[in-house]
Chains A and B, each alone.
Chain A
């Protein structure tokens, strides 16, 4: 569904995204992880047209979309959310979601109906008339998903929808994301909350300093020495392995 090959972007001397290639299959729920500043959000911005790549190509549903504008890519069916939530402050929750719904629905009444449906899917149906700016952090994250979902995307890019939520809020969001996937939307998510990545995603890519350093199932990745070192520092993988080995060897360690 989404094919990325050799995508690169540099800001001045910093190679924010460096020769990244990956493929997302239709109907999957996959994730992109990596330490702070690894280039995850920049990669999202490249995929959705907010930045123009220096090199490489993005193809979506078999068509090349490299360098297209964000609105064109959204219309084609790939829609992102923002890590730093971007509500239309001063407008109600319903009006916010309706902006997304209007992408394929020219009539106001149709868009409002669609917005109400989506609000139920994400659990905002009790807050439709509330000012979007008055929502809690968890509510704003839900609104961010709802706006994107209202456009009826084929591929949804979720940028840290769980960051800043407390554990019980995260427990509520996990089934919501799974339901969206089960309704037929392919999902690529960026996440810091490892619990979410481990329970939700079927496959992960690990980005570090702009480069992909590993890919595989969450279990495989959590064992990968390169990933451990990226997160915990050089030499950590060897030390952990030694400790595990000695723990297995006996109590004398």
Chain B
């Protein structure tokens, strides 16, 4: 309960941002942080709480992004409806991949490799078929009206990403306080033992896959509406997959607030690298890799683990000994 109150207060505090931040640069930084938190928290559902390390979340991200883009560009369907379909198709693709992979009992690095392969297959497919614009990409026409899910000001986009992020954080809070979450973590920690206690591991993992795919798909929809341009490398490329797993690994896997910490850290690193190295393509990815190695070596529990550790130390110091 305390956690839920803290979560709501935190999001209420973040909601002040558009009223006090006047510069577009900083509001954009907040938006990109929330966007990274949404991506990371989506991955965290499957990887942190479910123990299934996906290397191919781009498969769900790209599906969401292309769905909303293709529906409005090719079929004239309103992007608000596209948003619903984008999330749903993200979940569907995740469920299909999950059903195939879990049916054959693939775990650990095999699971990571197969998800990566699926994302790559989708990238190549979207590069060849016509309705995604193939290699040229797809451009969403600029039409800044709310009905069109585009906003005149950054504040509008802020509210959209704020709401999506809040939703995924609430879902993850629920994981910590529900039967589904308890079962998911049991499967993560010991699948055999969980099954012996009546947990249908296949269904539980599939559920986590669907939830994760849903929110990753929604993140893709947001990306499409915010930047109004997609190509196969953006939508299905490995950069998104890497970003969505780095955020919770840096912040703390399997924790509620870890992805938020990770998103702040990662967005900070990305901004700094742009500051120092300019727009040199790929430098930020090198930094991400370095960060990942350092985190795994020195802080396997992520930033959230660091917080817990120091809280415990404070408590220990405060307690009469």
Contact = CB atoms under 8 A, between A and B. Distances in A.
Given A71-B200, A71-B201, A88-B189, A95 B182 contact: yes
Contact of A102 (B182, B193, B196): B182
Contacts of B228: none
Contacts of A39: none
A106 B198 CA distance: 13
Interface in B168-189: 177-179, 182-183, 185-186, 189
A111 B189 contact: no
Nearest to A96: B186
Interface in A88-116: 88-91, 95, 98-100, 102-103, 105-108, 111
Given A71-B199, A79-B197, A108-B179, A86 B192 contact: yes
Given A108-B178, A108-B182, A89 B189 contact: yes
A103 B186 contact: no
Nearest to A85: B193
Contacts, number: 78
B194 interface: yes
Interface in B188-212: 189-190, 192-201
Contacts of A90: 189
B196 A74 contact: yes
A110 B2 CA distance: 19
Nearest to B198: A74
B163 to A, nearest CB: 26
A90 B177 CA distance: 16
A99 B195 CA distance: 10
A100 B192 CA distance: 13
A108 B177 contact: yes
A42 interface: no
B198 A103 contact: yes
A99 B186 CA distance: 7
Contacts of B186: 88, 91, 99
Interface in A114-167: 147-148, 150-151
Given A108-B177, A108-B182, A82 B197 contact: no
A48 B196 contact: yes
B197 A148 contact: yes
Contact of A79 (B182, B189, B196): B196
Interface residues on B, range: 10 to 19
Contacts of A75: 198
A70 B185 CA distance: 18
A100 B179 contact: no
Nearest to A86: B193
Interface in A64-93: 69-71, 74-75, 79-82, 86-91
Contact of A151 (B177, B189, B190, B197): B197
Contacts of A105: 179
Nearest to A147: B197
A139 to B, nearest CB: 16
A147 B193 CA distance: 9
B179 A71 contact: no
Nearest to A77: B198
B198 A82 contact: no
B50 to A, nearest CB: 13
B314 to A, nearest CB: 19
Given A91-B185, A95-B182, A108-B179, A100 B197 contact: yes
A49 to B, nearest CB: 8
A90 B193 CA distance: 14
Contacts of B182: 95, 98-99, 102, 108, 111
Nearest to A132: B189
B26 to A, nearest CB: 38
B196 A80 contact: yes
B193 A82 contact: yes
Nearest to B194: A99
A82 B196 contact: yes
Taking each of B182, B193, B196, B199, which has the highest tally of chain A beta carbons within 10 Å of its own beta carbon?
B196
A111 B195 contact: no
Nearest to B189: A88
A70 B189 contact: no
B179 A111 contact: yes
Interface in B229-260: none
11 contacts: A70-B196, A71-B195, A75-B198, A89-B189, A90-B189, A91-B189, A95-B185, A103-B198, A108-B178, A108-B182, A111-B182
Cβ-closest 5 pairs across A and B: A74-B198, A86-B193, A88-B189, A103-B198, A70-B195
Given A98-B182, A107-B179, 9 more contacts: A71-B200, A79-B196, A86-B190, A88-B189, A88-B194, A95-B185, A99-B197, A102-B182, A108-B177
